[in-house]
Structure 1
Amino acid sequence: MPRKALTTAAAALSLALLPGCVSVEAGDPFADVDLQRQDYILAAVVSPARPAEDTARDAARKPAEIVAFSGLRRGDTVAEIAPGGGYYTRILSQVVGPEGRVYAILTADRANRPGGRDAIDAIAEQYGNVEVVVVDSYAGMSLPRPVDLVWTTENYHDLANGDIAGANRAVFAALKPGGLYFVEDHAAPGTGTDATATLHRIDPEAVRNQVSAAGFALEAESDLLANPADPHTARVFDYEGTTDKFALRFRKPG
């Protein structure tokens, strides 16, 4: 992208990152994002290394704003739970930079399927700071070293179908003191966990309660991906519009 276009995009991003996009209990330390951090987040999102099928989803997923909200910084070590096709893995890798590390975490049952880890292995080969970590379960997750941030997008509802208390305790144990836990998922307000297996959605209040029970403090929540037009009654895969999503940032005391 030409320098002028980057500058224009950076200006647009700076407007998007104004603190009006979040709801905070007691002050959000990331509401005023420094300009240098905006630059490297933007550079990761506009990188020509990202495939067209990923960038086509950016308008709906708002990756620059979401990464800024998550609190991720240059040089961080981040664990990404269930990276899927690597939409965010590529962005996280470039945000943390060569001094940082991304652990892309797959369960053994997923990794052992035919072709189950082909996409993420290809990303790890392309991006030298990405390492694939295979675990028996997220509740038994063990990482090579403590991390600054644990990240999961559109997958928490799947974790909730298993030992979610154990998974959240494992996340807590994997983080450094003061580390962050970022959760973004499809919303089904008022349903608790009743829609996790059927609609592939979850009640954000259920997430708040479950993660808080593991010892985390809710630091901020964002309505960046909210869609009031979503009736919350359709399966995520069947809904023709953009689903209503929530984003939550928790902190481990330290």
Structure 2
Amino acid sequence: MGHRLALIAIGTTLAAVTSVAVGAPQIQREALREAARASTRTPANVARDRYRHPVDTLAFFNVAPDDTVVEIWPGGGWYTEILAPYLKDKGTLYEAAPNMGGLKAVRAMQQRDRATYGNIRLASFPAGDTLPKVPEGTADVVLTFRNAHNWQQAGPEVAQNAFDQMYAMLKPGGTLGIVDHRLPEAMPSAREGGSGYMKVSTITGYARKAGFKLADMSEVNANPADTHDYASGVWTLPPTYTLGDTDRDKYAAIGESDRMTIRFRKPK
């Protein structure tokens, strides 16, 4: 019911959404599977594939091996380990963060394995003076995973600026792919950001104001077992387990959070 309300709240239904693509062609999916099986991936990251569904997620975003892709705020580099080998031969990968501290994990990957990660380009986001920004109108795909709630927590103006800058990076017709912890529309908006969860309607509101068109949504990262109501927010669940050993088995059984997976398009 919560997911149905979400669609009502944003004033559309999936049947009315105009998709830029139904997903990646089979040969593209095979290349994504090969990248996900790369020996360069960290075993602990591979173990989380059952929660994060990287192949299906990147296929839904229709990431092609010759695309110019920007990953916003890569954190520990979980998706970087898949995107880098996938794009290494024909594509271009930017990793963008506020400063070099936000790219520490990516830099370590480059130092460890130049063959796989050496061609990654580093950029600032939001655009600043510490690193070059991604040139406007050059990206085919911009991706951000579980970051929008941080911008929301920092304030609506910060969140809107992030969406505006992502819009500027993209070529006309380009794709913005977002995955984030989903707060049901019926729950209080006051829980957004600080709990780690956000509403679909909030995400789409920022995107539309920036100029994006909603292209499609996927339930590939949904988790119906997530109750979204933990006092310590989404970090109660794995892999963080903020409460330590308290009810750990209970939260392990729930698994990682319920997540929205949304594809937006920059109009041509």
TM-score category (smaller protein): 0.7 to 0.9
1:39 to 2:30 alignment: yes
Residue 169 of structure 2, aligned match among 174, 193, 203: 174
RMSD value over aligned CA atoms? 2.3
- How big is each residue's C-alpha offset from its partner over 1:104-125, in whole Å with a ceiling of 9 and x where there is no partner? 11113xx34xxx5431102234
* Residue 216 of structure 2: aligned partner: 220
* Residue 119 of structure 2: aligned partner: 129
Task: Report 1:118-197 matches (<5 A).
Answer: 118-125=104-111, 126=113, 127-135=117-125, 137=126, 142-144=133-135, 146-162=138-154, 163-190=158-185, 191=187, 194-197=190-193
Write the distance in 1 (CA, Å) between the matches of 2:144 and 2:161: 16
Matched positions, count: 227
Structure 2 runs not aligned, ≥5 long: 1-13, 238-250
Q: Could you tell me which amino acid in structure 2 is paired with residue 156 of structure 1?
A: A
* Residue 236 of structure 2: aligned partner: 238
Task: Report 1:11-50 matches (<5 A).
Answer: 23=14, 25-26=16-17, 28-31=19-22, 33-50=24-41
Task: Report 1:60-99 matches (<5 A).
Answer: 60-99=51-90
Question: Residues 48 and 161 (structure 1 numbering): CA distance in 2 closer, same or farther, change over 3 Å?
Answer: same
User: What secondary structure does 1:237 align onto?
Assistant: helix
Question: Residues 75 and 32 (structure 1 numbering): CA distance in 2 closer, same or farther, change over 3 Å?
Answer: closer
Write the distance in 1 (CA, Å) between the matches of 2:209 and 2:128: 15
Q: TM-score, normalised by structure 1?
A: 0.82
CA contact (8 A) 1:72 1:96 kept: no
Write the distance in 1 (CA, Å) between the matches of 2:39 and 2:96: 25
Write the distance in 1 (CA, Å) between the matches of 2:31 and 2:19: 20
Shift of 1:192: 7.0
Question: Residues 24 and 180 (structure 1 numbering): CA distance in 2 closer, same or farther, change over 3 Å?
Answer: farther
Q: Could you tell me which amino acid in structure 2 is paired with residue 227 of structure 1?
A: N
Q: TM-score, normalised by structure 2?
A: 0.78
CA contact (8 A) 2:77 2:106 kept: yes
Question: Residues 181 and 53 (structure 1 numbering): CA distance in 2 closer, same or farther, change over 3 Å?
Answer: same
Write the distance in 2 (CA, Å) between the matches of 1:212 and 1:117: 29
Structure 1 runs not aligned, ≥5 long: 1-22
Write the distance in 1 (CA, Å) between the matches of 2:133 and 2:234: 30
User: What secondary structure does 1:91 align onto?
Assistant: helix
Shift of 1:172: 0.8
Q: Could you tell me which amino acid in structure 2 is paired with residue 142 of structure 1?
A: K
Determine what percentage of the aligned residue pairs are the same residue.
Answer: 28
Shift of 1:152: 0.3
